Chain A
Amino acid sequence: MWRDAALVAGKDLRIEARSRVATNQVAPFALLVLVLFAFALDPNRAVLKQAAAGLYWVAVLFCSLLAVQRSSAVESAEGARDQLRLSGLDPAGVFLGKAAAVAAQLLVLELLLGAGVVILYDVRLASLWLVTATCLLATVGLAAAGTLYGSLAAGLKVRETLLPLLLLPVAAPVLLSATEAWQAAIAGHPGDGTQWLRILGVFAVIYVAFGVVMYGSLLEEA
């Protein structure tokens, strides 16, 4: 299973590296979102600083939508999904691989957005370990839930509009918990953030486990 996961993740990341959609479109989009937030709240720099954690995670959520959409579009074009089934790879491995590729892209975007928040919003991340742990756990959860929903919407005529409707409410606990944890990290009270890390952990475990069990059934019907 792990070998299959590594193969699929490698394939997805290679496609992304060659198509350069992530670097040429998604990353500039992420920064644009940060700048737009700053435009919307401009005259009041204190508000921007105060809301930085929430704005950061909303931007991450938007980026994850794009990453997930890309990840499932790669499979639905030119019968790639059927080829994937014919390859005899373990469905759980395929799920883990696709989720890992999305997670890797998201982590890079989060790094970029983090730098953006620090520079543009003048935020100091007092507790770096909490910030890192939050990003890692939230990314695993988002990537797992996103990969699942990406496959649910894949191949349907209305997938572009359906995916946000399906994914955003599911990702709401991640948004809430990650924002609270970041706020604790920015305020320099890492102790307050640990309970939110726990929720992020539970969310990640639930969706990874669910994906490992159910992904076969999703691949089957294609």
Chain B
Amino acid sequence: MTRPPVPRWVTRSLGLGAVGFSAAAVVFGLWVMGPTAEQGDYSRLLVVHPPVATYAYVGFGITALASILYLIPRTRRREWDLLAGASAEVGVVFCGLTLVTGSIWGRPVWGVWWTWDARLTAEALLFALFLGYLALRRVPASEEVRSRRCAIAALIAVLDIPVDHYATTWWQTLHQGSSIDLLQPDKHLDTAHNVGLLLGFIGLGLAFAWLVIQRYRVEKLEARYEQEGLDLALEARRAEGDIPSDRVGAPV
């Protein structure tokens, strides 16, 4: 019998919080926030775009940290590798969302879906780097070989981020500067936009945490399945008890 890696009430609260705050952000973004003078209705994307971009970075940061912990012999545990994988997967989804939401905004405001702007190029490269990392995670190889190589690949990818970033920030950039400044909350935005942005950050942050925990849980079960076979994995699923035991392992 295994316990879930994070108590169930925590994941449930995270999930419910994510739904609640995201719904509030949607309501705020669509009805409470008014259109801005410069960007009109498109400024409403502010609720989504900066948070997903930020959490993509957070995801890759967690992957790098977990990879370092896996590589240090004293702290080496399989769990760090699983966390690195889970976090990278969610990071890639958020990075993809950043590109998509940016594109949706860019079409009406810049007149193009995509442009070879410094920020966009760096983000697209980041996306490609971690897609490569995820591909490496799926190669058929022994667990130890794969985990170690993945940890090193994650660190190489992370090393490349500042080089990419600085190589491209010396270009002329179309992408606007930061819209928010923690020291001056109302630098560019009115209160409604600030609150909408905050709700977006909280809602998507909770969703990010919830997704990472769920992916980690699945990765852990997959690892168990690889090690101990399907029977034990089914047993663990039954023990978690959120679906009736006769349905777990029933023929599908």
Contacts and interface: CB of A to CB of B under 8 A. Distances in A.
A152 B152 contact: yes
Interface stretch (A2-10, A100-108, A118-126, A162-170): A162-170
Interface string B118-135: 000000010011011101
B170 interface: yes
Interface in B120-162: 125, 128-129, 131-133, 135-136, 139-141, 144-145, 148-149, 152-153, 155-157, 159-160
Contacts of B125: 169, 172
Contacts of A210: 155-156, 159
Interface stretch (A56-64, A91-99, A128-136, A195-203): A195-203
Given A156-B139, A210-B156, A165 B163 contact: no
Contacts of B157: 170
Contact of A221 (B128, B148, B155, B164): B148
A170 B167 contact: no
Contact of A173 (B140, B149, B167): B167
Given A158-B139, A170-B156, A203 B149 contact: no
A177 interface: yes
Given A165-B131, A169-B128, A206 B141 contact: no
B interface majority secondary structure: helix
Contacts of A221: 144-145, 148-149
Contacts, number: 79
A149 B156 contact: yes
Interface string B38-80: 0000000000000000000000000000000001000000000
Given A157-B140, A158-B139, A166 B153 contact: yes
Interface in A153-201: 153, 155-158, 162, 165-166, 168-170, 172-173, 176-177, 195, 199
A156 B132 CA distance: 14
B225 interface: no
B132 A206 contact: no
B128 A162 contact: no
A interface majority secondary structure: helix
B168 interface: yes
B170 A195 contact: yes
A27 interface: no
A138 to B, nearest CB: 13
B113 interface: no
Given A176-B167, A202-B163, A165 B132 contact: yes
Contact of B159 (A152, A156, A199, A206): A206
A206 B131 CA distance: 22
A210 B152 CA distance: 10
A199 B167 contact: yes
Contacts of B71: 214, 217
A169 B159 contact: no
A210 B151 CA distance: 13
Given A156-B141, A157-B139, A173 B160 contact: yes
Contacts of A148: 152, 156
A5 to B, nearest CB: 20
A153 B128 CA distance: 17
A145 interface: yes
Contacts of B135: 162, 165-166
Contacts of A202: 163
B131 A177 contact: no
Given A176-B168, A202-B163, A221-B145, 11 more contacts: A149-B153, A152-B136, A162-B132, A165-B132, A166-B133, A166-B153, A170-B156, A199-B166, A217-B148, A217-B152, A221-B144
Interface of B: 71, 125, 128-129, 131-133, 135-136, 139-141, 144-145, 148-149, 152-153, 155-157, 159-160, 163-164, 166-168, 170
